[in-house]
Amino acid sequence: MIANKYSVGQEIKRGAFGIILKGHYEKKNEPIAIKIEYGNMQTLKHEVKMMNYLYTHGVRKIPSIYWYGTYKQHPCLVLTYYESSLVDYIKSREMTIQRTNAIMLRLLDIFETIHKYYVLHRDIKPQNFMIKDGELFLIDFGLATFFIDENGDHHENTASDSLIGTPKFASIHVHHGNKYSRRDDMISLGYLYLYILLGDVLWFSFPASLASSSLPTCSLTHPLNVWIQQQKEGVIQTHLSERADLSHICNYLKHMYEMKYESQPKYDVLKYYFT
């Protein structure tokens, strides 16, 4: 038992720095998730800080924290258990443009809200969106950060050699060594949109040379069209020939590619592309 309240169940996921378990909140007779961190990463401590900050500001499309402390000498976080992930959802049905647009509008609402409170997520991927009672939730704030400093000023765009987030969903600007900003969360959502709609055919390999490639323009194949044309031109063109017009997502990405580092996204305009 954890804190004399939460029973520990089966393992859900294991990684290099920790484990996620399913558990049970005995008093309320409801399932919970348990994250246990190994080593000295302090990722859970940071995640708790970010989620508590957002929750106190009224953000609700994120997990609720039940308890945080030490369990068997390791940092431990007890939080909301979700029925399924976005990955499960898209695997269980045909993802039409209409259905994908509806998901994108919900995602844009979530990110408009967290950006309102100066937070960047920085690790957008299908596995970090969960579903409960038909609603979408954003999880895993271990890489989240503020885009303003203690004086309320936007952080400067300093060059970096390290890539933050999941490479195949990270913004092209991040691959080019730019500091992460709001535009990069939005670009990653565009890549996620294409993944949801077009599936794994776009992602079964990823170019090591992407960081040195020129900033791509958007075409009907993919925002990273240089890579697509070089490696999968025939496959992607055949796949897209069965789809309706994708100009809306291309216009969305073009809009975001042209946005300056410190600019605030025009969320209403971005949502318009998917209505």
Per mean pLDDT, which range of 3-12, 140-149, 215-224 is the poorest? 215-224
CB-based contacts of 156, cutoff 8 Å, min separation 6: 179
Q: Which of 80-84, 201-205, 266-270 has the lowest mean pLDDT?
A: 201-205
Q: Roughly how many angstroms between the first and final C-alpha of the chain, as a whole number?
A: 48
Residue 217 maps to which CATH number?
Answer: 1.10.510.10
Give the percent of the chain with pLDDT over 70.
Answer: 83
* Same-domain check for residues 88 and 76: no
Answer with the one of 21, 49, 80 that is the final residue of a domain: 80
140 is catalytic: no
| pLDDT band for position 208 (cuts 50, 70, 90) | very low
For residues 267 and 235, state if they share a domain: yes
Q: Is the pLDDT of residue 2 over 70?
A: yes
171: in domain: yes
Domain range for 25 is: 6-80
pLDDT at site 243: 53
Based on the structure, what is the number of domains in the chain? 2
Please identify which of the residues 109, 123, 245, 268 carries the catalytic annotation.
123
3-class secondary structure, 230: helix
Q: How confident is the model at residue 126 (pLDDT cuts 50, 70, 90)?
A: very high
Q: Are 160 and 184 in contact (CB under 8 A)?
A: no
Q: CA nearest 107: which of 203, 200, 21, 188?
A: 188
Asked which of 26, 59, 80 is the last residue of a domain, the reply is 80
Residue 1 resides in a domain: no
CA distance 215 to 194: 18
Q: Are residues 208 and 117 both part of a single domain? A: yes
- Quote the pLDDT of residue 217: 40
Instruction: Please check whether residues 144 and 268 belong to one and the same domain.
Output: yes
Tokens 């055949």 -> residue: 238
Q: Is the pLDDT of residue 205 over 50?
A: no
- My answer on whether 97 and 219 are in the same domain is yes
How many helices and strands (H and E) does the chain possess?
9, 10
